[in-house]
Copies of this chain bind each other. A is one copy, B any other.
Amino acid sequence: MTTYRLHYFPESGNSYKLALMLTLCGQSFEPVWTDFGGGVTRTAEWRASVNPMGEIPVLEEDGVRLTQTAPILLRLAKRYGQFGAANEQEQFEVLRWLFWDNQKLSGFMATYRYRRAFTPSPDAKVQDFLRKRVDDFLGILAGEVAQRPFIIGDRPTVADLSLCGYLSFPVEESGYDLAARFPDVHAWLQRIAALPGWKPPYELLPGPRLKRYV
């Protein structure tokens, strides 16, 4: 049986994606809180010794350190036979949405929310640039999950767990009232929250929190 240690900080949607996947697959993990706010992951030492990509989360599997959330999700899906694709065509769809999520939805929402909630005085022009993109991406997601229960069909996959990551945090942080503005996205999030064993981010990712400015 694999032993997991998850290096995370509580506000990280990518950390939440892995914590949620492990939890929904019935696995436990040792939570290793990391001082992201203190700049640990931006140090030369972190890049040299933990992750050259300078990112968090890091998942240890029996002591082996893995990075990049989406490939880890695919690896766990294969290991546990859950939330994966049933055939090659589904696998292509899962990959499409994982890439779209990383470049578009999670990518921009992560940056927009982090600057909005956890940094003092973010530049208004930059925030406006980011917010317009997030609006567009949420509209695209809404159009898809209005048509079927989960992103590629009737079953939830790691693509759903990826897409929901940054949308599962409290509305105060993103400023996006999804229930009011994107009801189809809200309904899809509720379907994910109804999965057996589901827990919200700050229950799975405990510990000291970043200062919030809004």
A34 within 8 A of partner (CB): no
A95 within 8 A of partner (CB): yes
Partner of A68, one of B67, B96, B126, B143: B96
Partner of A92, one of B54, B75, B98, B99: B75
A211 within 8 A of partner (CB): no
Residue contact A53 to B107, C-beta cutoff 8 Å: no
A129 within 8 A of partner (CB): yes
The number of residues on chain A lying at the interface, defined by a beta carbon within 8 Å of a beta carbon of chain B, is 30
Q: For residue A92, which residues in chain B have a CB less than 8 angstroms away from its CB?
A: 66, 71, 75
Chain A contact surface mostly: helix
Partner of A95, one of B53, B74, B100, B144: B74
Report the separation of the CA atoms of residues A52 and B148 in the bound assembly, to the nearest whole angstrom: 15
- With both beta carbons as reference points, the residue of chain B lying nearest to A108 in the complex is identified as B107
Segment 42-66 of A: residues with Cβ below 8 Å from B: 52-54, 66
Q: For residue A107, which residues in chain B have a CB less than 8 angstroms away from its CB?
A: 103, 107
Report the separation of the CA atoms of residues A99 and B107 in the bound assembly, to the nearest whole angstrom: 11
Report the separation of the CA atoms of residues A74 and B71 in the bound assembly, to the nearest whole angstrom: 13
The contact string, 1 if C-beta is below 8 Å from chain B, for chain A 116-154, is: 000000010110010000001000100110000000000
- Looking at the assembled complex, report how far the CB atom of A142 sits from the nearest CB atom of chain B, in whole angstroms: 11
A185 within 8 A of partner (CB): no
A102 within 8 A of partner (CB): yes
A70 within 8 A of partner (CB): yes
Q: For residue A106, which residues in chain B have a CB less than 8 angstroms away from its CB?
A: 103
Report the separation of the CA atoms of residues A132 and B59 in the bound assembly, to the nearest whole angstrom: 28
Report the separation of the CA atoms of residues A140 and B125 in the bound assembly, to the nearest whole angstrom: 27
Q: For residue A69, which residues in chain B have a CB less than 8 angstroms away from its CB?
A: 99
- Looking at the assembled complex, report how far the CB atom of A128 sits from the nearest CB atom of chain B, in whole angstroms: 9
Q: For residue A100, which residues in chain B have a CB less than 8 angstroms away from its CB?
A: 53, 68
- Looking at the assembled complex, report how far the CB atom of A61 sits from the nearest CB atom of chain B, in whole angstroms: 11
Q: For residue A144, which residues in chain B have a CB less than 8 angstroms away from its CB?
A: 52
Residue contact A53 to B140, C-beta cutoff 8 Å: yes
